[in-house]
Amino acid sequence: MSEISDKVQKELLSWPGVTLHDHRFGGIEFRVNGREMGHMHGDRLADLPFPRDVGKKLIAEGKALPHHVLPQSGWISYYINGIEDIPGTIELFQMQYERMTSYGKKEKEKNNERLWKSNLLSSTTASLGEPL
């Protein structure tokens, strides 16, 4: 293992819920809560699956390139040329981590809001039906 992989792994594995696995096409895969955040092919390339609109934005901003095999997919590729690219690699994984871990929080917040509105409606309806 090299200095690049070591540093990226050490950082990503310090985040809650992140695990390390062998990737099916070679390299190492990082998952959060059982879902792939992205993977690294050795010390030279990181691939991350973003929604198409996010991938296009990252490419337009010059933060990544289209995926080296599936350029229209939303997946992005980030070429690592040396230790100076470690922060950029970690930044992309951090964006992915935040996106993937906030999804469950957003859904929970939506469900709580629906429940609150439902309870509010039920209590309002019940109080309107009570005699004065």
Distance CA 109, CA 102 (A): 10
Summarize pLDDT for 63-94 with one digit per residue, the tens: 999 988 877 788 999 999 999 999 999 999 99
| Topology at the third CATH level for domain 3-129 | Aspartate Aminotransferase, domain 1 (3.90.1150)
Distance CA 89, CA 120 (A): 46
> Where is 95: in which H helix or E strand?
helix 86-129
Predicted pLDDT at 92 = 97
Predicted pLDDT at 114 = 58
Predicted pLDDT at 115 = 63
Distance CA 56, CA 64 (A): 9
Residue 110: pLDDT band (50, 70, 90) is low
Summarize pLDDT for 17-71 with one digit per residue, the tens: 999 998 887 789 999 999 999 999 989 999 999 999 999 999 999 999 998 887 7
Residue 2: pLDDT band (50, 70, 90) is confident
Domain ranges of the chain: 3-129
Q: Is pTM, for the whole model, over 0.85?
A: no
Distance CA 90, CA 83 (A): 12
